[in-house]
Structure formats: structure tokens, C-alpha cells
Amino acid sequence: MNNAIEIDGSIGEGGGQVLRSSLSLSMFLKQPFTIKNIRAGRPRPGLMRQHITAVKAAAKICNAKVKGAEISSLKIEFYPGKVQSGTYKFDVGSAGSTTLVLQTLLPVLMVADGTTEISLSGGTHNQYSPPLDFLVNSYLRQINKMGPKVSVDLTAYGFYPVGAGMFTVKIDPAKELKQIEILSRGKNISKKAFAYSSKINEEIGENEMKIVAKKFGWLKENCKSVMVESPGPGNVVLLIDENEHTTEVFTGFGRKQYSLKKVVADAITEYTEYIQSEVPVYKYLADQMIIPMILAGAGRFITSEPSLHTLTNIKVVKKFLEVDISINQLNQNQWQVDISSKK
């Protein structure tokens, strides 16, 4: 076994992101690592169930040896083995997020030696992680530009707190990852809004869509309220801005004792911020693109002021690889991130 890299889990945002990014890089690079101080500053420090699920899923895919994957553990050791493409099924449970698990596994499977199909069940739309719609429309669109073909087939939504959504991801890998850059949005293709609801009064979604249509003057057929299949109740509002080079998704999450106006307003606030900034890559996509671009050897994008998550990912990447990552402010609202590996 190689010498393991040591990661301090308290760097940057100091949460689960450090762990997930380390897992992605470790699997891809076959580089063992140990991570200590996991979530050290949090009210309940150490590994939580969703992190353990991610670690175990990662370990399964690359036959890794793992030490310390227990609840509240502050330290784990991860020794990746050979990556195995094929069919997998991971049950994430209600509190965890399937999208975060998928993101962790994806990089290595994009260049694996065969097609992989992963069935995931658990939460798909929860306030504290990227909703599946973002993953599919925004993130996977960029990933697919890099060579692999990744598609998602959703059979059930999993809203917080019940979760239990279900979807299958199919990953046709590429031989190697193409380098991409996202420097402008390009022409706008569509602007759409969706209200997905389950086991609640249908009018809620309809009213949400009315507010959106009225606010932006969008056509009624582009603002759809849909009752979706899900074991538990839930509601989410999505604004999707599709352009020539990028798609961005903005979300408002319905929850108990939270008015539909507020749900809509949450999505609109993010959308407006994005539109006004004129950047092609909104903050959520920005932090997701760091690792794929590094693994492709280089990449470049323009975004708004880098978030703590983005900076955290950069710090983690630098632990695993010799890279040049420069961040230059172009104007009041725009920053350009240039990534290239030194090899």
C-alpha cells in the first residue's frame, strides 16, 4: 500500500464535503488517505450516517479497505483497491442525500473500464444538498460534455423527511476526460419552472407556479405544477435556466409551517442573483466542477465570488495533486477559475 495522505477534516467548510472530495480523489487516483478531525467543529462531530453510507458505497465500488467508519468517528483510513464497474444498489435512508453519494462515486466511474448502473434510494430533494434536478440538468450536462454519458432514470421522488426516492444512474465511461471551459452562458434556450408535489393539496403547487408566472411573465405552459410519485409528502419549486453552454437550477424547498410564498421566494432570490451576476456558472455548480476539471487535466470557468465549498474543494485537491488553480476577479460580480494539473 502507498503511503496514505493525511487530510485534516476541519479545513475549509470543515464538514462532509472534505470527506466526500477526498473519497472521490482517492478512488480516482488510487491514493490511500486518512482523514482526522472529521466535522470537528460541528455540534455533533464526527461521521454521521450519511457520511458512512458514502464511505461504504465508495469502498464497495473500489474494493477499499476502511478503518473507523463508525458513527461519531473523527478519523477514518481509506485504502482504495481496483475499481469495479457493474451494477450497484445503495440504500441511503431518509436523512442522507442520494445526490451527495452519487457525486462522490461519479468521477471514478466516468473513466472506469465498463458501464455502471447504480440504483439509489433515499432522499432526492432535501434542503441541505443539491436536488436531483440540479444534478441531472446542470452538473451532468457539463460532465457529459467531458466524454462520459451519464443518464438518470427517476422512479420516485424522495422528499425530506421521509425520503425513499428511487432512481437509477447509468454511466457509460469515457476513455479519458475532455477538458472543458465554461466562460459564457451563450444564447438562452428556455426558462422553465416546476412545482413538484406529493401527498399534499394540489393547489399548493399550482399557486406556486402562478406566482412565478406572474413575477417573470413566463408562459403558463412553462410553469408546471406536477404531482409526483413519492412515499412521503413534499413540495419543491425549481426554476431552470437553460442556455447554450450551461443550465442552472434554482430551488425552493417546501417544508412544514413554511408558506408557499416563501418557497417560491427562495428559488426566485437565487435565480435573480444568478441573472444579475451574468456569470455562466452559479455557486453550486462551481464547487462541483473543481474535481472533474482537475481529473481532466485542466479546465476553466467564470463564476460569482467563490464559495467556501469551492475553496474547500480546492484545498482538498491540492492535498492529493500538484495543481495550479488560480482565481482572478474579473469585475465586481465575476471571478475566473483556471485549473491545470502540473503533470
Nearest approach, Cβ of 60 to other proteins (angstroms)?
14
CB count in 10 Å sphere of residue 202 = 12
> What is the enclosing helix (H) or strand (E) of 261?
helix 260-277
CA nearest to 24, candidates 68, 94, 83, 70: 83
Nearest approach, Cβ of 21 to other proteins (angstroms)?
20
Give the CA distances from residue 177 to residues 111, 123, 146, 299, 301, in Å, rounded to whole numbers and listed in that order. 7, 29, 5, 11, 16
- Give buried/exposed letters for 106-121 (b at 16+ CB in 10 A, else e): bbbbbbbeeebebbbb
User: Got the DSSP string for 102-126?
Assistant: HHHHHHHHTTSSS-EEEEEEEESB-
- Give buried/exposed letters for 239-257 (b at 16+ CB in 10 A, else e): bbbbbebbbbbbbbbbbee
Among 2, 63, 72, 276, binds other proteins (CB under 8 A): 72
Q: Could you give the angle at which helices 283-296 and 308-320 cross, rounded to 10 degrees?
A: 10
Q: Quick one: which segment of 17-25, 69-77, 301-309, 334-342 binds other proteins (CB under 8 A)?
A: 69-77
Determine how β-strand 5-8 pairs with β-strand 335-341. Answer: unpaired
Pick the closer one to other proteins by CB: 165 or 306: 165
Pick the closer one to other proteins by CB: 200 or 311: 200
Q: Quick one: which segment of 112-120, 160-168, 218-226, 293-301 binds other proteins (CB under 8 A)?
A: 160-168
Q: Quick one: which segment of 22-30, 94-102, 169-177, 299-307 binds other proteins (CB under 8 A)?
A: 94-102
Q: Which x/- pattern, by CB under 8 A, does the window 268-307 give for other proteins?
A: ----------------------------------------
Among 9, 14, 32, 163, binds other proteins (CB under 8 A): 163
Alpha carbons 127 and 252: distance in angstroms, whole number? 8
Interaction with other proteins in 25-54: which residues (CB under 8 A)?
A: 44, 46, 48-50, 52
309 carries an active-site annotation:
yes
Under 8 Å between Cβ of 158 and 100: no
Q: Quick one: which segment of 5-13, 249-257, 290-298, 335-343 binds other proteins (CB under 8 A)?
A: 249-257
Pick the closer one to other proteins by CB: 10 or 138: 10
Nearest approach, Cβ of 94 to other proteins (angstroms)?
4
Q: Quick one: which segment of 101-109, 174-182, 214-222, 255-263 binds other proteins (CB under 8 A)?
A: 255-263
Residue 296: which residues within 8 A CB-CB, separation 6 or more? 146, 176, 177, 178, 179, 180
Interaction with other proteins in 165-204: which residues (CB under 8 A)?
A: 199
Alpha carbons 200 and 157: distance in angstroms, whole number? 14
Question: Taking CB under 8 A as the rule, does residue 96 contact other proteins?
Answer: yes
Helices (H) then strands (E): counts for the chain = 9, 16
Nearest approach, Cβ of 50 to other proteins (angstroms)?
6
Among 70, 113, 203, 324, binds other proteins (CB under 8 A): 70
Question: Taking CB under 8 A as the rule, does residue 93 contact other proteins?
Answer: yes
313: DSSP letter: H
Written as nine digits, the cell of 275 is: 441573472
Q: Please identify every residue annotated as catalytic.
A: 309
Under the rule (CB under 8 A), what is the footprint of other proteins?
44, 46, 48-50, 52, 70-72, 91-96, 121-122, 161-164, 199, 231-233, 255-257
